């Protein structure tokens, strides 16, 4: 019979840096989220628009056919500026990718509603904060880890299909020179991903920190989105105010994305106002998060 040593033993080794602790939280959060029934199906459903845009990219390599098909499929794109002249690949891609990411804001909202609410509220419910904050971990490390979880799932419906679409476009163009022409589109996709992650992540985490019941957090998140849209519609239609989109989180992101991709803006009002609103929302959410965590740390 083997003898198994069970006495207390010391550990000798080198500890890893602070970032690794945030990554640990993120990895665990992603693994736990993936255990949720239906999440993978939801993500797959969320990236289906990418296939339509893939077809458009294919058509974009044949510009004349593309113009005809796109005007049928992408209702709402202002092609007037392009009439009478042959658009460059960069121009077409800017419009395609900006439209793609604006369309993806809907799956982002749904996926974030599915993954985000539990990230902090569950820790509150099972009193796990004292496990985190009795360790060499700051509030910022903890929040960064949780934000990374949101970032992973936002990437699945924005960045990953966006980058894949870009690569498909490069392959279809059959020329590496297209990269030199369109690298700004690639950077804009990255920028859009960062913007969406920061705004959606901070807001949903702030909501999550407010309640131990993730059901309430889902309702709060959905209400924020829907009320914004309703207010945008009411003020825009009934009062004919050009700034009405500032009331909607989605519309503000769409407006900034238009600027990021250098295409015609979604709304008339200056995009800088939308960026300002998003900045205020982000800072307010971060403020709520740090204040809540500080008070909760003391409680536990």
Partner 1 sequence: MTEPMISLVELRKSFGAVEALRGVSVEVPAGGTVGLLGPNGAGKSTLIRILLGLLKPSSGAAHVLGIDSASNPLDIRSRVGYMPEDDCHIPGLSAVGYVAYAAELSGLPPADAIRRAHEVLDYVGMDEERYRQVETYSSGMRQRIKLAQAIVHDPEVLLLDEPTDGMDPTGRDDMLELIHDIASLGDVSVLVSSHLLHDVEQVCRHIVVLGMGTVRLAGDLATLRLAGENCFEVRLKGDPSAFLKGLARIGGEAHPVEGELLRVSLPAGAGAKRIVQLAHEGHVQVRHLRPALNTLEDVFMQAMREEGSGSTGTERGAGNAHP
Q: Which stretch binds partner 1 (CB under 8 A): 75-83, 126-134, 158-166, 277-285?
A: 126-134
Q: By the 8 A CB rule, do 193 and 158 touch?
A: yes
Distance CA 103, CA 51 (A): 13
User: Residue 47 corresponds to which tokens in the numbers above?
Assistant: 């990236």
CA angle 177–50–230, rounded 5-degree value = 125
**Closest distance of CB 183 from partner 1, Å:** 36
Which residues are CB-contacts of 116 (< 8 A; sequence separation ≥ 6)? Answer: 150, 200, 201, 204, 205, 207, 208, 217, 221
Q: Using the rule CB under 8 A, is 75 a contact of partner 1?
A: no
Shortest gap between Cβ of 299 and partner 1 (angstroms)? 9
Confirm or reject binding of residue 192 to partner 1 (CB under 8 A): no
Say whether residue 295 binds partner 1 (CB under 8 A): no
Question: Where do runs of H (alpha helix) occur along 209-270?
Answer: 214-238, 249-260
If the CB atoms of residues 20 and 71 are measured against partner 1, the closer one turns out to be: 20
Residue (12 or 64) nearer to partner 1, CB: 12
Among positions 132, 186, 267, 271, the unique one binding partner 1 when judged by CB under 8 A: 132
- Judged by CB under 8 A, which of 1, 8, 64, 180 binds partner 1? 8
Q: What's the Cα-to-Cα distance from 114 to each of 14, 168, 219, 243, 248, rounded to whole Å?
A: 37, 30, 11, 30, 20
The residue within the footprint of partner 1, chosen from 2, 17, 38, 84 (CB under 8 A), is 17
Work out whether 291 is an interface residue with partner 1 (CB under 8 A): no
Q: Is 39 in the site for partner 1 (CB under 8 A)?
A: no
Q: Does 137 bind partner 1 (CB under 8 A)?
A: yes
Binding mask 52-71 toward partner 1 (x if CB under 8 A, else -) reads --------------------
Can you tell me whether residue 266 is helix, strand or coil? coil
In whole angstroms, give the CA distance from residue 133 to residue 260: 38
Q: Which residues lie near partner 1 (CB under 8 A)?
A: 4, 6-11, 13-17, 20-21, 24-25, 28, 32, 35, 122, 126-128, 130-138, 297-298, 300
């Amino acid at each position: 019979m083997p003898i198994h040593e069970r006495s207390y033993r010391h550990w000798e080794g080198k500890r890893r840096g602070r970032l690794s602790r945030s990554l640990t939280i993120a990895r665990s959060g992603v693994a736990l989220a993936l255990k949720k029934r239906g999440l993978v199906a939801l993500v797959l459903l969320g990236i289906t628009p990418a296939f339509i845009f893939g077809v458009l990219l294919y058509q974009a390599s044949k510009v004349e056919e593309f113009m005809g098909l796109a005007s049928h499929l992408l209702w709402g794109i202002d092609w007037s500026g392009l009439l009478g002249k042959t658009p460059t690949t960069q121009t077409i891609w800017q419009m395609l990718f900006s439209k793609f990411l604006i369309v993806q804001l809907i799956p982002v909202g749904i996926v974030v509603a599915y993954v985000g609410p539990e990230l902090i509220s569950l820790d509150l419910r099972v009193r796990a904060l004292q496990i985190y904050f009795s360790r060499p971990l700051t509030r910022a490390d903890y929040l960064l880890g949780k934000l990374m979880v949101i970032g992973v799932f936002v990437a699945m419906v924005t960045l990953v299909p966006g980058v894949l679409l870009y690569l498909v476009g490069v392959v279809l163009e059959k020329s590496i020179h297209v990269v030199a022409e369109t690298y700004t589109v690639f950077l804009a996709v990255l920028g859009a991903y960062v913007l969406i992650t920061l705004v959606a992540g901070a807001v949903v985490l702030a909501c999550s920190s407010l309640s131990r019941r993730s059901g309430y957090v889902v309702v709060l998140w959905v209400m924020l989105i829907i009320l914004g849209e309703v207010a945008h519609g009411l003020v825009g239609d009934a009062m004919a105010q050009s700034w009405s989109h500032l009331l909607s989180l989605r519309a503000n992101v769409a407006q900034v994305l238009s600027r990021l991709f250098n295409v015609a803006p979604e709304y008339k009002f200056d995009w800088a106002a939308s960026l300002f609103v998003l900045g205020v929302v982000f800072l307010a959410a971060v403020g709520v998060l740090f204040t809540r965590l500080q008070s909760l740390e003391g409680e536990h």
